[in-house]
Amino acid sequence: MVDFNSMSREQVEQFSAAAQGEWGGRTHVWKLRERFDWQWREFERLAALQGPVPASPIPEGGFMPGQIVDDDGTLYLNGSGGVIDYAPGDEPLSEWVHVEEPPEPGDPEPEPAPPAPEHEPWQQPTGAHDTYPIGAIVTHDGHLWENTIDRNGWEPGTPHSQWTDLGPVT
């Protein structure tokens, strides 16, 4: 437990800024995880639509999650949740699951991608009243930027600006 009463104002502000930065980083990771999960579900959907593929030759990049493989008339499902780079029976411990018949592909329409958050472009503040609060996210020079200090009036990407580059705008 943190004892804020024994800390100076500057220490409390530093602690707060560090906590805000940590929270922003975790939020970014959660957004990436949501996108990653959507992509795996889309791989599985496309593999089911494709139907069984031959076990040999192994496709470049391996067998996708949910991929159905026909190994001399016996069907196997990649139930690993990830890419498998070997055919059924090639490994003693395998994540291939024997199936009697291929599962129905389900919804033929792709699941919509999670919406990308829309962020305003950065604008130079005209005074203290319109500076950026901690956690504000803006676009600037083709990148997303997250502010890490309160009342930030600096341009993202400049020295000592206290903005974290979250990567290119997609």
pLDDT in tens, 45-92: 776 677 788 888 888 888 887 788 888 888 888 877 778 888 887 776
pTM of the model: 0.39
Look at the chain and count its residues.
170
pLDDT in tens, 106-158: 555 555 666 666 788 999 998 888 889 998 999 999 999 999 998 899 999 99
Nearest C-alpha neighbor of 81 from the set 52, 41, 35: 41
Domains of the chain, residue spans: 8-104, 119-170
Q: Tell me the CATH class for 119-170.
A: mainly beta
In what helix (H) or strand (E) does residue 41 lie, and over which residues does it extend?
helix 9-50
Rounded (to 5) percent helix, strand, coil in the chain: 30, 20, 50
Nearest C-alpha neighbor of 98 from the set 82, 78, 114, 119: 78
